Amino acid sequence: MKRHLLSAADLSRDDAELVLRTAEELRSLADRPIKKLPALRGRTVVNLFFEDSTRTRISFEAAAKRLSADVINFAAKGSSLSKGESLKDTALTLEAMGADAIVVRHAASGAPHRLATAGWTGSSVINAGDGTHEHPTQALLDAFTMWRHLGALDGRRVAIVGDVLHSRVARSNALLLRTLGAEVTLVAPPTLLPVGVDGWNVETSYDVDSVLPKADVVMMLRVQGERMNASYFPTVREYSRRYGLDARRMAQLQDHTIVMHPGPMVRGMEITADVADSSRSVIVEQVTNGVAVRMAVLYLLLGGSEPAGTTERDAA
């Protein structure tokens, strides 16, 4: 594994499979009485969030704590535009605190990349979502969830439906799923597919109904209603009608097909409540898997000295 996790493209197939196997090993821990492992004792993990995301922060925090790391939560104010707190000054502060890993969420695409390469810090940097670029641990937890339900992903068909243009989840998933051998189809109105998507080595479609019957996984992306103000689509109603996942569309799916959503959902926009709460939906499980996958990432990047599965008692 590389020293940083900035993009899903940083992961070779071997790396990705190692993360998934490690996550599987760690996930079993959730069922044990002792939930804490000593693997990262004495190491410091900083959650550096320039953008609010309670769910992602809590997931990383839980992951680090279960590995016995010291956790510092740092909620920085100021977006890239307001020039509030500078990324550089914050990085220098964290460096002085001796952070071993910095988990960073930022509204600016490439901010984690800058943090890792500008010479401001020697810590490992984990991208917890940057602008409209990537969210690699989300892709890992999605792949982990698929893998638990479907086994090996080679040849599996994954439909990713929604606002691909603005989605860091879609970018990371497209990269990682291809690495793992899955077939990916991005489904969106043409306005919400990035220019140059032809070069992504994935299929694209404007027609969700032609894609759903063949899919093994349907991943719905969050779509912000405000996008209609920038003319990405005419109205919320038209978007939902053409691209939303409702019970009628769900009925076209194969029996084994699972429905995913990275959250937070806009119920009634891209997904209806009955679909989100149906037995096909693995949305809640994605959250549980998120902790295991992030434990695996932290463990592997920080090179924990103990085997991942060793409990307190075993180690003593």
Partner 1 sequence: MSTDRTLIRGARPLGGDAADVLLRGGVIAEVRAGLDAEGATVVDADGLVLLPGLVDLHTHLREPGREDAETVETGTRAAALGGFTAVHAMANTDPVADTAGVVEQVWRLGQSAGHCDVRPVGAVTIGLAGQQLAELGAMADSAAAVRVFSDDGRCVSDAVLMRRALEYVKAFDGVVAQHAQEPRLTEGAQMNEGELSGRLGLRGWPAVAEEAIIARDCLLTAHVGSRLHVCHVSTAGSVEIIRWAKSKGWNVTAEVTPHHLLLTDDLAATYDPLYKVNPPLRTHADVEAVRAGLADGTIDVVATDHAPHPHEDKDCEWAAAAFGMLGLETALSVVQHTMVDAGLLTWADVADRMSRTPARIGRVSEHGRPIAAGEPANLVLYDPSASRVVEPGESASLSRNNPYTGLELPGRVVHTFLRGTPTVHEGKPA
Among 110, 225, 263, 268, binds partner 1 (CB under 8 A): 110
Out of 81, 96, 251, 316, the residue judged to bind partner 1 by CB under 8 A: 81
Site track 167-196 with partner 1 (rule: CB under 8 A), x = hit: -x--x----------------------xxx
Give whichever of 44 and 127 is closer to partner 1, judged by the CB atom: 127
183 to 126, 169, 177, 241: CA distances (angstroms): 26, 16, 7, 26
Candidate residues 20, 103, 111, 208; the one interacting with partner 1 per rule CB under 8 A: 111
- Output the smallest distance, CB 309 to partner 1, in A: 36
The answer to whether 51 touches 81, Cβ cutoff 8 Å, is no
Q: Give the Cα separation of 176 and 283 in Å (integer).
A: 19
Q: Please calculate the CA angle 156-25-136 and round it to the nearest 5 degrees.
A: 55
Q: How far is residue 296's CA from residue 262's CA, in Å, rounded to a whole number?
A: 19
The rounded distance, in Å, linking the Cα atoms of 194 and 206 is 13
| Position 77 contacts partner 1 (CB under 8 A) | no
Burial 164-176 (b: 16+ CB within 10 A, else e): bbbbbbbbbbbbb
Of residues 87, 125, 187, 245, which one binds partner 1 by CB under 8 A? Answer: 87
* Binding span for partner 1 by CB under 8 A among 21-29, 124-132, 180-188, 250-258: 124-132
Which residues of the shown chain bind partner 1 in the complex (CB under 8 A)? 80-81, 83, 86-88, 106-111, 113-114, 117-118, 130-134, 165, 168, 171, 194-200
